[in-house]
Amino acid sequence: MSDGVLPQPGNPIEAVTHVDPYPYYRQLREQRPLYFDEGLKLWVASSHSVIDEAFHNVALRVRPPAEPVPQALLGTAAGEVFAQLVRMTDGEFHAVHKPAVEQAARRWSLADVTRASEAAARDLFAAGPPQGKHGPLGGQRSVGAKFRCLTVNDLMGVLPVQAMARLLGLPDGLLDDSCRWVRQFVQGIAPGASTQAVALAAGAAEALMDQGRALGLSTVQAANRIAFMQQSLDATAGLMGHTVLMLAQYPDLALLADQSPQAMRGFVAEVERHQAPIQNTRRFAADPVVLAGQSIEAGQGVVLVLASANRDGLLNPRPDQFDPQRGERRSMGFGAGAHACPGAAIAIEMVAACIQWMRATSQFDGCFGALAGFWPLANARIPLFASRKEA
């Protein structure tokens, strides 16, 4: 545009990869906190109060009532795993199995997460820091003799998955294959995945389920063991990437974060709130429901713009200010209500521990180049980086 002002996104999905979606989110929040988007054929909720109400409304489910498992996955091993995931189910199944998932997440202390994350970082950097901007998760430059053939953008996804795999007790010899299978599973269950991606996801699901069964786990336990690694991919990759950007943007605050694990943990927690790696999530009406005074028909979907809620002044004072020492920080990024994610502290600690290790061992500065865009995803805002040479 001639005046140098960037056009706003056309909808919350376009906003995920926009250079700066937050003025648009503010406008939605202030003018249309809940509206029906004719182009998306979805309701859009952007204020904290509406999103919180949606999270606690039992008639709003995580999957469309008519399609509990994505059509493309039906009849595949990936579909069978999907049907067993606590995070993708509601009702009695969810109520019965969610406590076990929460208990499993509580078994790891922050010290356990730190050890696993540092071990993963040491392993992945053993042959030198990755380079290149190929991706997402598609680079070819080899920095190791095995699966650890990483670009800088691959690294952000592989590192948290390997850390979680270590927490789950996978031996070193299975880490590379397991990380590859998790990536294939995530890519194959994504909306719009190709036939080939779905086939790879099915094979990956079979291999990962075999691992779980070999440990004596039930079908539900084995599936949700995969979910721990799966959820470590996009969300934690995004959190790591945004932490890199904010460390560069606020060098004085970065120096303070380097002083202790607690300080870095606070920095990463504020990144999660302020930058919201998971920008939006969805809910679907199982029955007619009234949300914030609006009548939503059974089967209609609602996009919950979590990134907007995190910048809502009714949730956090001075919401646009980046403040790692913020008191009583509140974030909607890990959900709320029955589907609140039990792994919030784990994700934050993984990123904090990995980043602190990289900075302490002088691996950090030679790794990440300039911001080169964002992964083309509809809900997760994950930075793409150029290599230092390209930067």
d(CA 270, CA 264): 10
User: Tokens standing for 259?
Assistant: 């002083």
pLDDT at 376: 93
Is 343 contained in some domain? Answer: no
Distances (CA, A) of 83 to 63, 69, 70, 73, 90: 11, 6, 9, 10, 11
Is 332 contained in some domain? Answer: no
pLDDT at 388: 61
Characterize 249-279 residue by residue with b for buried, 16 or more Cβ atoms within 10 angstroms of its Cβ, and e for exposed: eeeebbebbeeeeebbbbbbbbbbbbbbbbb
Q: Indicate the SS3 state at residue 2.
A: coil
Cβ contact 371:384 at 8 Å: yes
Instruction: Please name which of 58, 62, 162 lies closest in space to residue 119, comparing C-alpha atoms.
Output: 162
Q: Which residues of the chain have pLDDT under 70?
A: 1-4, 127-150, 387-391
The string of pLDDT tens digits covering residues 139-157 is 333 333 333 456 888 889 8
CATH code of the domain in which 194 resides:
1.10.630.10
The string of pLDDT tens digits covering residues 326-361 is 999 999 999 999 999 999 999 999 999 999 999 999
Is 202 contained in some domain? Answer: yes
Is 366 contained in some domain? Answer: yes
Is 384 contained in some domain? Answer: no
Is 83 contained in some domain? Answer: yes
pLDDT at 348: 97
The pTM is what? 0.92
Domain count, the chain: 1
Is 139 contained in some domain? Answer: yes
pLDDT at 233: 86
Domain span at residue 88 reads: 70-273+352-371
User: Tokens standing for 113?
Assistant: 């997460």
pLDDT at 4: 62
Is 362 contained in some domain? Answer: yes
pLDDT at 391: 44
pLDDT at 187: 94
d(CA 226, CA 182): 7
